[in-house]
Amino acid sequence: AAVEKGRFRHFMQKEIFEQPTVVAQTLGSYLRRVEQQVALPQMDFALADVRRITIVACGTSFYAGMVAKYWFEQFARVPVDLDVASEFRYRNPVLEPGGLALFISQSGETADTLAALRHSKAHGQKIAVVVNVPTSSMAREADLLLSTHAGPEIGVASTKAFTCQLAVLAAVAAHLAVVKGKMTREEEQDAVRHLLEAPAALNAALAHDADIAAMAPLIAPARDVLYLGRGPDYPLALEGALKLKEISYIHAEGYASGEMKHGPIALIDEAVPVIVLAPSGPLFEKTVSNMQEVRARGGKVVLISDAAGIAEAGEGCLATIEMPTVHPLIAPLVYAVPVQLLAYHVAVAKGTDVDQPRNLAKSVTVE
């Protein structure tokens, strides 16, 4: 049956609001609730023997891979290489025996990612894929198929596929950490419990839809917007900038918060909104000082943080958006929501074609 928009104005909006449901569905196939354990599908190789992981993807899927690099290295201590497919396939990458190559793709058909998969296979890598279309080419050619259960994604700009990719990758990170002996059974149970809290946290984030819609007219006139984040929220800053570019046609850049002083700070003035993604935590102080650097130059900050972060640094911001207080493992899923909603409402305010942005394709099956 054809997918309908129902009560929503755009498919993208509908897909943003589906995230609590589809993330729960996806997690349901990787987590055992009773045992509080991660369970991956059967594979013909031992994950414990994997010495290095190479992650390759394009677009939004690439940013999911970038979050995964932080997780795999931090929790499992497995070194990760990360590349966009169009670079990877032509740079003659070093692929050693015992390597696992992981491809992330909503469609499972993106030409560069598929070519990178075949190149890796020909060079002796085990192949894992995180895909949303289980009948796709990538799914068929993989040794390990990790499906996302986001359902059909119609909006050209990816939203629910991204958070479902993150859900799978977080489960894989925890499992990898266990088989590598870097996570105890108790820590695994703890991680599983936190992952199971993700759908409720996504709902709490979605509850800010109206505030974000009200704020969109402040961002819509901007010519440039800067997004800042640190650690696993740095890829979210990149994703936020990509979403805004894709559907509102405003020039946007994502930067690692600490790197701002090495360039983008030169652009800051009253006309450049700076969106800061910063859950409270050990590095929050550093981000606060980056915000002060922005404000000292007249820049307008939109702070996306939790209650503690906003209490500490919300004063003097153009706007604040309060996210629920969550475990760091699910923060990237939760912080995806406000950046999606912000891009969506700015695009609506500008009157662009949200579901079919100019010059973009849902799936790029030619080089």
Contact residue for ligand G6P among 26, 60, 86, 148 (CB under 6 A): 60
Contact residue for ligand G6P among 158, 248, 305, 340 (CB under 6 A): 158
Contact residue for ligand G6P among 54, 105, 120, 248 (CB under 6 A): 105
Which residue of this chain has its Cβ atom nearest to ligand G6P in the complex? 59
Nearer to ligand G6P, 86 or 107 (CB): 107
Contact residue for ligand G6P among 12, 53, 55, 58 (CB under 6 A): 58
Q: Does 163 bind ligand G6P (CB under 6 A)?
A: no
The answer for residues whose C-beta is within 8 angstroms of residue 34's C-beta and 6 or more apart is none
Kindly state the smallest distance separating residue 234's Cβ from ligand G6P, in Å: 18
CA gap 46, 53 in Å, rounded: 13
CA gap 242, 340 in Å, rounded: 10
Burial class (CB within 10 angstroms; exposed 0-12, middle 13-18, buried 19+) of 32: exposed
| Active-site residue set | 362
Residue pair 32/39 in contact by the 8 Å Cβ criterion: yes
Q: Does 157 bind ligand G6P (CB under 6 A)?
A: yes
Residue pair 340/246 in contact by the 8 Å Cβ criterion: no
| Percent composition of the chain: helix, strand, coil (DSSP 3-state, to 5) | 50, 15, 35
Contact residue for ligand G6P among 86, 110, 148, 340 (CB under 6 A): 110
Kindly state the smallest distance separating residue 17's Cβ from ligand G6P, in Å: 18
Nearer to ligand G6P, 311 or 361 (CB): 361
Q: Does 59 bind ligand G6P (CB under 6 A)?
A: yes
Distances (CA, A) of 325 to 74, 318, 351: 21, 21, 34
Residue pair 112/102 in contact by the 8 Å Cβ criterion: no
Residues binding ligand G6P (CB under 6 A): 58-61, 105-107, 110, 113, 156-158, 360, 362-364
